[in-house]
């Protein structure tokens, strides 16, 4: 039993000696860290582990004297800013010593498990104007080398719309790069990736943006439809190959219509199918083909209303067959659009015919405008404006009551002229009307009873 107690005491004594030895070593290292920085200590990215304040100061000063910041740019470009170029200066004051004083020498053991990376502001300065001047000389600021960022766009193909990828470009945001480069220099960084620091101006919308995808879907909806215009037996069809030229997006990726281009299309329809004011081939009652120009008769597409209607139809995205909106219509879509119901006035013969549905209803001699005082009845194709019974025609120094009034060109019209006893011949040359077509009572009555507003009235001289 005595032998066992002796062995236990010996083990206990050995443990105490070991602990004392470790304690002595720990305190010895602690004495070292009274004047030296912890393991893993850095100031503004510069390693000062195990250095005294003076050594750390010299280490930092040496690093700053040779400091350079490498800028990593798009396109694998790299450029450098040297401290000498921007007046980089080091003035620690007491900040290095204060940092050392904040490290408890007895706490050195914790530095083995956690790094002490300190950022001390104000120990490094540079000339801001020199930095901006240096940055402004970078190749990224050279206007000839700058590629502007561009949003994702769209391309129309036979299979519909495709998204064209955005262009990132290489245009620098000056305010951002000034701030980021300045902060990197103060922090002692050796490299700065301009892309990672968002120093570039980037597209607002990419090919993955919801707004872009939604716009593409709407484009395809609009261009998948078919619109068919009808002009009697003639047709004009519109599909995506035409509609895509009218579409665009605004700065917020909203699909918009280019109304000028829609108007251009409607203008082309009007140019092709409007007949107002056009010269017409006309077969006279004597079977002679003549050309008649002028007048107010014919088809007129209402362009402004048709543009609005066309845009609304496209927005609905449904196939449709339609006529254009007209501000004035004719009675036929045949070659001369007059049809088979019309009044024919030959001012050379001073004779009038009225045909209805191809049949001659009545004819007779008339007296037209007095050519000797420039009141001749104008040639052209007109449309009957309206018809009125028992009207009083008024002009300068006259008022003439008539039973049948058929105006077709402003204040010029066909009417009975009971004050005349003769019609036809050369009366109109010196004793014609003020421009109207004077007709015998029975002739005017017959026309009045059988004609409707809008009927063509063809006036010509052979």
Residues assigned a catalytic role = 415, 436
What does DSSP say about strands 68-72 and 78-82: parallel, antiparallel, or unpaired? Answer: antiparallel
**Contact between residue 96 and residue 128 where contact means Cβ atoms under 8 Å apart:** no
Alpha helices in 274-357 (DSSP H): 303-316
Strands (E), 3-93: 41-43, 46-47, 68-72, 78-82, 89-90
Q: Which of 291, 328, 294, 279 is nearest to 412 (CA)?
A: 294
Least Cα distance to 81 among 135, 139, 142 occurs for 135
Spatial CB neighbours of 60, under 8 Å, sequence gap ≥ 6: 43, 44, 46, 48, 90, 92, 96, 123
The three-class DSSP label of residue 157 is strand
Give the separation between CA 273 and CA 230, rounded to whole angstroms: 11
Helices (H), 323-393: none
The 8-class DSSP code of residue 202 comes to -
First to last CA, the chain: 158
Spatial strand order of the sheet with 41-43 comes to 46-47, 41-43, 116-118
Residue 106, SS3 per DSSP: helix
């Amino acid at each position: 039993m005595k032998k066992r107690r002796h062995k236990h005491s010996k083990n206990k004594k050995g443990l105490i000696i070991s602990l004392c030895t470790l304690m002595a070593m720990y305190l010895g290292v602690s004495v070292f860290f009274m004047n030296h920085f912890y393991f893993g200590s850095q100031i503004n990215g510069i390693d000062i582990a195990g250095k005294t304040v003076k050594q750390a100061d010299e280490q930092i000063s040496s690093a700053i004297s040779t400091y350079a910041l490498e800028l990593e740019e798009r396109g694998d470009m790299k450029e450098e800013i040297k401290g000498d170029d921007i007046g980089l200066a080091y003035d620690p004051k007491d900040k290095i010593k204060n940092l050392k004083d904040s490290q408890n020498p007895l706490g050195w053991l914790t530095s083995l498990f956690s790094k002490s990376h300190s950022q001390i502001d104000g120990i490094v300065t540079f000339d801001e104007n020199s930095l901006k001047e240096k940055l402004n000389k970078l190749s990224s600021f050279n206007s000839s080398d700058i590629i502007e960022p561009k949003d994702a766009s769209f391309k129309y193909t036979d299979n519909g719309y495709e998204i064209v990828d955005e262009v990132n470009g290489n245009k620098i945001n000056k305010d951002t790069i000034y701030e980021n480069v300045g902060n990197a220099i103060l922090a002692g960084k050796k490299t700065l990736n301009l892309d990672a620091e968002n120093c570039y101006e980037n597209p607002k919308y990419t090919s993955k943006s919801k707004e872009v995808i939604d716009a593409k879907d709407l484009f395809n909806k609009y261009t998948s439809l078919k619109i068919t215009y009808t002009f009697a037996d003639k047709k004009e069809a519109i599909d995506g190959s035409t509609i895509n030229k009218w579409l665009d997006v605004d700065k917020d990726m909203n699909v918009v219509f280019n109304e000028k281009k829609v108007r251009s299309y409607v203008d082309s329809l009007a140019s092709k199918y409007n007949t107002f004011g056009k010269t017409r081939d006309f077969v006279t009652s004597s079977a002679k083909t003549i050309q008649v120009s002028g007048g107010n008769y014919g088809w007129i597409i209402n362009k402004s209303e048709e543009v609005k209607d066309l845009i609304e139809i496209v927005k609905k995205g449904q196939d449709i067959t339609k006529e254009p909106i007209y501000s004035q219509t004719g009675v036929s879509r045949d070659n001369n659009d007059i049809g088979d119901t019309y009044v024919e006035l030959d001012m050379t013969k001073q004779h009038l015919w009225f045909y209805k549905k191809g049949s001659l209803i009545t004819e007779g001699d008339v007296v037209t405008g007095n050519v000797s005082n420039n009141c001749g009845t104008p040639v052209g194709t007109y449309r009957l404006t309206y018809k009125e019974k028992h009207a009083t025609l008024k002009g300068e120094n006259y008022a003439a009551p008539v039973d049948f009034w058929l105006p077709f060109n402003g204040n010029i019209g066909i009417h009975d002229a009971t004050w005349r006893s003769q019609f036809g011949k050369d009366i109109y040359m010196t004793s014609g009307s003020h421009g109207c077509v004077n007709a015998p009572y029975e002739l005017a009555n017959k026309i009045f009873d059988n004609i409707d507003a809008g009927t063509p009235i063809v006036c010509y001289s052979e």
